[in-house]
């Protein structure tokens, strides 16, 4: 089902068929505003490895298979390619750092099949399963992660995920090498350097400003911040603060670049209190803290 969603999103992008686009938009909307766990996990019930009814999101019996989290990344990536909006990467990133990576232990030797949000102690990662889809799916997914960081079209380069890396690619007529220096998600400081640009020509850099840095816990209202704190962000080019109206959730810098240019992005990472829509029976009377793990913990 979730793989089918990815295929339909791809088909919709390739054909431009309005019925496919409308159908897959409705499915995405329904998942994100009714059936998504705060971890980005999906699939509330083990019976049929399926979604439940709208707002059916039990915590201890949640299924949230690791494979479903990986499929949620695939699906949202393809929805981004279809529409070019940052909200799809907001869901992708949430899933990546929560409901997906929870599927493997730090030493890489044990795995969760379901990823429940509550436990009375009966859940343990296992080294293997009779039907071992999740370990092998993780082994396939994790090396593919670099392919999700950037996207390009014409003379635009989208920076969708922040992590330390160097990219050499062609953007428009330019051969470009750029690098990111950051400890994200351990902190919210990212430095992007234009190391080389062949034509010294224009390039439109589109930086994703995550929804969580703009007061939106998730796209839609299934989860919302229930405190008075505020997250903010800033962008500097060669040391000077710059501003712009976000376009589809992206901070757009359209300029002539030269080697040595630097862009600094700062995203506030305050601890926030998050509540679920009151229709989610399992979450009534409770909330979640979004906690950023600091390097020194």
Nearest to 69 by CA among 104, 30, 24, 20: 104
Q: Closer to Zn ion at the Cβ: 109 or 260?
A: 109
Q: Which of 44, 67, 69, 265 binds Zn ion (CB under 5 A)?
A: 67
Residues 204-263 that bind Zn ion (CB under 5 A): none
Q: Closer to Zn ion at the Cβ: 72 or 231?
A: 72
Min CB(141)–Zn ion separation in Å: 11
- DSSP 8-state assignment for residue 53: S
What whole-number distance in Å separates Cα of residue 235 and Cα of residue 212? 16
Binding piece for Zn ion, criterion CB under 5 A, among 82-90, 129-137, 234-242, 258-266: 129-137
Considering CB under 5 A, how many residues would be counted as binding Zn ion? Answer: 4
49 is catalytic: yes
Min CB(134)–Zn ion separation in Å: 4
Q: What angle do CA 273, 269, 263 make, to 5 degrees?
A: 150
Structure-token pair, residue 295: 């390097």
Min CB(189)–Zn ion separation in Å: 35
Min CB(283)–Zn ion separation in Å: 25
Q: What is the 3-state secondary structure (H, E, C) of 164-220?
A: CEEEEEEECCEEEEEEEEECCCCCCEEEEEEEEECCCCEEEEEEECCHHHHCCCCCC
What whole-number distance in Å separates Cα of residue 181 and Cα of residue 225? 29
93 is catalytic: no
Binding piece for Zn ion, criterion CB under 5 A, among 49-57, 134-142, 143-151, 246-254: 134-142
What whole-number distance in Å separates Cα of residue 34 and Cα of residue 57? 9
Q: Does 134 bind Zn ion (CB under 5 A)?
A: yes
Q: Which of 14, 133, 229, 291 binds Zn ion (CB under 5 A)?
A: 133
Q: Closer to Zn ion at the Cβ: 133 or 241?
A: 133
CA dihedral angle for residue 184, residue 32, residue 214, residue 266, rounded to 10 degrees: 10
Query: Where on the chain is the footprint of Zn ion (CB under 5 A)?
Result: 65, 67, 133-134
List active site positions: 49, 133
């Amino acid at each position: 089902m979730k793989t089918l969603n990815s295929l339909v999103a791809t088909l919709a992008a390739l054909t431009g068929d309005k019925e496919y686009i409308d159908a897959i938009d409705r499915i995405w909307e329904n998942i994100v505003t009714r059936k998504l766990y705060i971890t980005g996990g999906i699939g509330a019930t083990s019976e049929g490895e399926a979604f439940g009814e709208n707002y059916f999101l039990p915590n201890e019996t949640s299924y949230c298979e690791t494979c479903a989290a990986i499929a949620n990344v695939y699906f949202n990536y393809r929805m981004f390619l279809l529409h070019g909006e940052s909200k799809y990467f907001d869901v992708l990133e949430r899933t990546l750092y929560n409901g997906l990576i929870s599927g493997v232990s730090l030493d890489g030797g044990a795995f969760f099949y379901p990823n429940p949000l509550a436990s009375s102690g009966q859940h343990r990662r296992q080294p293997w399963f009779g039907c071992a889809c999740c370990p092998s799916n993780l082994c396939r997914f994790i090396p593919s992660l670099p392919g999700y960081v950037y996207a390009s079209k014409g003379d635009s380069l989208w920076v969708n995920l922040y992590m330390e890396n160097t990219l050499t690619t062609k953007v428009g007529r330019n051969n470009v090498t750029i690098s990111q220096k950051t400890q994200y998600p351990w902190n919210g400081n990212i430095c992007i350097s234009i190391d080389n640009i062949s034509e010294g020509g224009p390039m439109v850099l589109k930086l994703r400003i995550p929804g969580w840095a703009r007061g939106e816990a998730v796209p839609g209202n299934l989860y919302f911040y229930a405190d008075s704190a505020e997250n903010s962000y800033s962008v500097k080019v060669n040391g000077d603060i710059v501003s712009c109206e976000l376009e589809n959730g992206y901070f757009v810098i359209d300029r002539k670049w030269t080697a040595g240019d630097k862009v600094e992005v700062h995203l506030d990472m305050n601890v926030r209190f998050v509540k679920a829509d009151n229709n989610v029976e399992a979450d009534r009377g409770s909330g979640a803290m979004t906690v950023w793990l600091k390097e020194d913990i």
